[in-house]
Amino acid sequence: MSEKQIIDVADLDCIFLTYDEPNKEQSWIKISNMVPWAKRVDGVKGSDAAHKAAADASDTDRFILIDGDNIPDPDFFNLQLELNDTNESCVFRWRARNAINGLMYGNGGMSSWTKDFIYKMRTHENSDGTDANDVEFCFYPNYWAMNDCYSTTYPNATPFQAWRAGFREGVKMCLDRGTRPTLTEFEQRVHSRNYDHLCIWQSVGADADNGFYSILGARTGTYMTMLADWDYKKVQDFSVLEKIWENNSAEDQDAERCRELGDILRRKLGLPIVDMDADESQFFKHHYKSQFTNKGPMVRE
């Protein structure tokens, strides 16, 4: 590509990628009305395999991907992407607003992939054995984290879904490029923004549906990664996470367990996490959101 190319987002195929999200059928109705040309891939186990199935479903070499618990902002489909020699092969991942805790980062956000990128990558259950690719996509150099936020992710339709969302981030936010640090390395090796996100996942959400369970999940994930004998790379296997949930959740004991985990994580990892009530959680989310502005769809973080 010798000169820049302007592509209308509306000219790209749009794939809605679902697995077991409780609200996936209702969300599909909303997305079908918003994006009439959208296609759907459902029920493919494994993140790597599911993304390859999405690439197979697309008729355009570059396409938009929407996760199963994400609802886009309609205006996104009026935007244009500017491609050039530097970024033509890149994946673009935009931020999403998290309905539980108000965080705005790539987790759950919309993305634009090329088929070539997906067919060549080996991640998650199909990992090439590199720590960075066992639980994430984002460490490839041509995977770009973008600044703007164009959607909302709702990973909290049920207690288990909220717990799993928190657990996964409670694990991944502890890692340094996919590798678990030692206890003495923890604060130095965890990226400062990931550290902040980790603390917010473990503190904010009491005002949201099932938000308590996302906090419990995040604390459990961090505890099992940093303070227990557990293979953190299993975080990419949803069947393993379901078994952990079934073996550890007891409704009459969950609140006490969450407090106990908070005390342990504060004491042993030095995490500055707090037990916010619903009003405090709402206050945080209001002021956190007010600090963010979009800058343009091609602006990187």
pLDDT digits (tens, 9 = 90+) for 205-241: 999 999 999 999 999 999 999 999 999 999 999 999 9
Confidence (pLDDT) at 131: 67
Residue 294: inside a domain, yes or no? no
**Mean of pLDDT over the chain:** 94
What integer is the mean pLDDT of 179-202? 95
Residue 125 lies in a domain: yes
pTM over 0.85? The answer is yes
Based on the fold, state whether residues 118 and 166 are members of the same structural domain: no
Could you tell me if residue 298 is inside a domain? no
Average pLDDT over residues 248-272: 92
Instruction: Note whether 17 and 118 are same-domain residues.
Output: yes
Question: Does the pLDDT value for residue 249 go beyond 90?
Answer: no
> How would residue 127 be classed by pLDDT, with cut points 50, 70 and 90?
confident
On whether both 82 and 184 belong to a single domain, the answer is no
Picking from 105, 133, 153, the residue at the C-terminal end of a domain is 153
* Separation between Cα atoms, residue 88 and residue 61, nearest integer Å: 11
Tell me, yes or no, whether 75 lies in a domain: yes
Rg for the chain, CA atoms, rounded: 19
202 domain-assigned:
yes
The answer to whether position 295 is within a domain reads: no
- Asked if residue 80 and residue 23 are part of one domain, the reply reads yes
What residue numbers bound the domain in which 211 lies? 159-289
Residues 105 and 183 in one domain: no
- Tell me whether strands 5-8 and 111-114 are parallel, antiparallel or unpaired: unpaired
Q: Distance between CA 173 and CA 194 in Å, rounded? A: 5
Domain count, the chain: 2
Token pair listed for 259:
């407090």
Same domain, 258 and 219: yes
241 and 104 assigned to the same domain = no
Query: Per the structure block, which two tokens stand in for 153?
Result: 């992710």
Mean pLDDT of 256-269: 97
Residue 24 sits in the same domain as residue 139: yes
Of the residues 137, 153, 169, the one at which a domain ends: 153
Last residue within a domain, chosen from 119, 153, 187: 153
List the CATH number of the domain containing 41. 3.90.550
Flag whether 218 is in a domain: yes
The single-letter DSSP state of residue 182 is P
Coil, helix or strand at residue 5: strand
Compute the distance between CA of residue 17 and CA of residue 116 in angstroms, rounded to an integer: 18
**Does residue 185 share a domain with residue 111?**
no
Dihedral sign for Cα atoms in the order 110, 113, 115, 121: negative
CA dihedral 200, 204, 208, 212 (to 10 degrees): 100
Name 124's Cβ contacts closer than 8 Å, sequence gap at least 6: 46, 47, 48, 133, 134, 135, 236
254, two tokens: 């969950």
Residue 111 has pLDDT above 90, yes or no: yes
299 within domain boundaries: no
24 residue type, one letter: K
Nearest to 212 by CA among 269, 163, 155, 152: 163
CA distance 25 to 28: 5
- Judge if 147 and 183 occupy the same domain: no
Same domain, 91 and 20: yes
Q: How confident is the model at residue 3 (pLDDT cuts 50, 70, 90)?
A: confident
pLDDT bucket at 248, cuts 50 / 70 / 90: confident
| Phi, psi angle pair for 244, to nearest 5° | -60, -45
DSSP string covering 78-128, please? G-EEEE-TTTTT-EEEEEEEETTT--EESTT--EEEEHHHHHH---GGG--
